């Protein structure tokens, strides 16, 4: 029996619709037929002929057959693989429309997920350079059936089918050059790509990190092996071949500063394992970020230097990262906090950018390599009021609560999954004057903002009768375009404490 929805639509139908807007995730959406119809690579005001491939009770999905009347916001994509490669979703939109769309993503999320009608979302801060901006790529690799040829690139949208990338317009040309030589050298070595179905094959990912300041690159080969196996007698040939590949790369391309191996023998789609080993050249590169604001302090105008190891987290767009960090400085404001806590600090990128605004900054990061880089970065920039603590955010906040230490400001920059409930509850207990939330995911940001708005922290209700918190109001959200041509958007949200003093939770109930 063919599946239909109450509007009478069914899978396989060909219909004509007009696109109203772009939804979270980048698909255009039309409500012409009584329910939302999502269409990838469509633009607001497009009139299109589509074929339905997924029809459900409350929504449907379709693919474009023909663009009948193109939107004024449509433009020619800069990449020939757009629509095939899943790396970018918005190249068909004029850049100004991309910026408006990303602002709307945050407005949609705050309203529909967070239930926050009054939250002010500011216009998106644009990128000066919307192409060739990526400072890092992580390419999975595959072998075609019955072939030793090595393919590396991005997956097609909603699939594990690899698109082999030779030229990518959102990454600098030197990365294209490096990747082509790497693939050739691996093919000549006879190494097989990892097969996730059989858990066989050696090479899982090829990662490149690039510094725009020094024009140097670090390569990391993610291999299906443990470190112990790598040094076993059986694997000596593999080790020697990889070292020779590293040597050939550095001899052929002077911009390659060093090559490392990452060991990941676990099943699943996790990209990196926990252990790295340098097999040639430098173990890190240095990036320099500078503020272009006329009123920026001299140290920011001159540039903050960052040492980056292969596994350390760093914003993927160096130029825009400086604008993001300036937006965080704006969020801190004119007051000089005695204590600022930077949670999920990575290599201390934001902590060092903010160091002159606070008497003391505690940078919390659980990954050892990032903490080592962060401490080195503080010395590199002659900053002595930033203290790095290697621990999880959950543990660090719990210790502050136990010690009865209340930061004036807490800065959080969590991964895409957002904050754990444990972190939200800990922040409500700590009750700082201000929380600054840097997010790369509008949906999880909105979810967490809704939790911060509560005046009844869940775990406190069970344990005590009073809580020193009235919740937090999201004062404003500032989008920053770190990922041009994709649906991803970074943002800086200012959360201000609603009130002071104790509330009685029993009375509140």
What does the pLDDT look like over 245-283, one tens digit per residue?
A: 999 999 999 999 999 999 999 998 899 999 999 999 999
| Non-local CB neighbours of 198 within 8 Å, separated by 6+ positions | none
pLDDT at 457: 47
Question: Beta 203-211 vs 216-223: how paired, if at all?
Answer: antiparallel
Paired residues of 31 in beta bridges? none
pLDDT single digits (tens) 357-409: 999 999 999 999 899 999 999 999 999 999 999 999 999 999 999 999 999 99
Q: Quick check: 220 pLDDT over 60?
A: yes
Q: Quick check: 222 pLDDT over 60?
A: yes
Q: Where are the alpha helices (DSSP H) in 29-76?
A: none
- The larger pLDDT score, comparing residue 468 to residue 225, is at 225
pLDDT single digits (tens) 353-367: 999 999 999 999 999
pLDDT single digits (tens) 437-489: 999 999 999 999 999 987 544 444 444 334 455 689 999 999 999 999 999 99
Q: Give exposure, 170-203, as e/b (b: 16+ Cβ within 10 Å).
A: bbbebbbbbbebbbebbeebebbbbeeeeeebbb
Q: Report how far residue 504's alpha carbon sits from residue 509's, in angstroms, rounded to the nearest whole number.
A: 9
pLDDT at 501: 35
As a whole-number percent, the residues of the chain with pLDDT over 70 amount to 93
Q: Quick check: 117 pLDDT over 90?
A: no
Paired residues of 466 in beta bridges? 504
Find where tokens 């109930």 sit.
Answer: 509
| Non-local CB neighbours of 151 within 8 Å, separated by 6+ positions | 141, 142, 143, 144, 162, 164, 183, 193
pLDDT at 455: 53
Secondary structure of the chain: what % helix, strand, coil (to 5)?
30, 30, 40
**Residue 5 binned pLDDT confidence (cut-offs 50, 70, 90):** low
Q: How is 130-179 classified by DSSP, letter by letter?
A: -SS-BSEEEEEEE--TT----EEEEEPTTS--EEE-S--TTS-HHHHHHH
Could you list the active site residues? 440
- Mean pLDDT, residues 172-196: 95
Contact 207, 222 (CB under 8 A): yes
**Residue 6 binned pLDDT confidence (cut-offs 50, 70, 90):** low
- The larger pLDDT score, comparing residue 290 to residue 4, is at 290
Residues in the chain: 509
Average pLDDT of the chain, as a whole number: 92
Can you tell me whether residue 200 is helix, strand or coil? strand
**Residue 507 binned pLDDT confidence (cut-offs 50, 70, 90):** very low
């Amino acid at each position: 029996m063919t599946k239909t929805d109450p509007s009478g639509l069914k899978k396989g139908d060909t219909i004509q619709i007009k696109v109203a807007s772009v939804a979270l995730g980048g698909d255009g959406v039309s409500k012409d037929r009584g329910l939302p119809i999502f269409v990838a690579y469509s633009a607001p005001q497009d009139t299109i002929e589509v074929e339905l491939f997924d029809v459900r009770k409350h929504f449907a999905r379709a693919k474009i057959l023909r663009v009948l009347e193109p939107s004024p916001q449509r433009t020619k994509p800069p990449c020939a693989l757009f629509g095939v490669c899943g790396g970018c979703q918005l190249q068909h939109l004029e850049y100004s429309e991309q910026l408006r769309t990303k602002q709307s993503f945050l407005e949609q999320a705050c309203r529909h997920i967070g239930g926050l009608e009054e939250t002010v979302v500011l216009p998106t801060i644009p990128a000066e350079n919307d192409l060739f901006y990526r400072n890092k790529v992580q390419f999975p690799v595959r072998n075609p059936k019955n072939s030793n040829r090595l393919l590396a690139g991005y997956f097609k949208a909603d699939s594990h089918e690899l698109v082999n990338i030779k030229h990518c317009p959102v990454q600098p040309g030197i990365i294209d050059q490096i990747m082509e030589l790497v693939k050739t050298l691996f093919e000549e070595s006879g190494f097989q790509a990892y097969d996730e179905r059989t858990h066989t094959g050696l090479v899982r990912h090829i990662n490149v990190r690039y510094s725009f300041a020094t024009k140097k690159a670090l390569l990391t080969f993610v291999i299906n092996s443990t470190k112990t196996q790598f040094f076993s007698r059986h694997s000596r040939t593999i080790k020697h071949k990889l070292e020779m590949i590293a040597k050939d790369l550095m001899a052929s391309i002077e911009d390659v500063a060093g090559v490392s191996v990452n060991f990941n023998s676990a099943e699943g789609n996790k990209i990196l394992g926990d252990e790295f080993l340098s097999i040639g050249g430098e173990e890190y590169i240095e990036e320099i970020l500078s503020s272009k604001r006329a009123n920026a302090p001299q140290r920011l105008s001159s540039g903050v230097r960052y040492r980056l190891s292969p596994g350390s987290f760093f914003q993927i767009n160096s130029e825009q990262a400086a604008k993001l960090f300036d937006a965080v400085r704006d969020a801190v404001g004119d007051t000089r906090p005695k204590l600022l806590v930077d949670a999920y600090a990575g290599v201390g990128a934001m902590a060092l950018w903010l160091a002159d605004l606070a008497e003391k900054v505690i940078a919390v990061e659980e990954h050892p390599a990032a903490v080592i880089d962060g401490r080195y970065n503080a010395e590199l920039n002659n900053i002595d009021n930033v203290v790095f603590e290697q621990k999880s955010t959950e543990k660090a906040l719990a210790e502050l609560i136990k010690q009865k230490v209340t930061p004036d400001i807490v800065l959080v920059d969590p991964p895409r999954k957002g904050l754990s409930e444990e972190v939200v509850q800990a922040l409500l207990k700590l009750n700082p004057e201000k929380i600054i939330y840097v997010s790369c995911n509008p949906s999880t940001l909105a979810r967490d903002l809704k939790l911060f708005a509560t005046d009844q922290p869940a775990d406190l209700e069970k344990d005590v009768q009073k809580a020193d918190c009235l919740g937090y109001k999201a004062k404003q959200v500032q989008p920053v375009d770190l990922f041009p041509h994709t649906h991803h958007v970074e943002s800086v949200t200012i959360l201000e404490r609603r009130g002071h003093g104790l509330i009685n939770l029993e009375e509140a109930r």
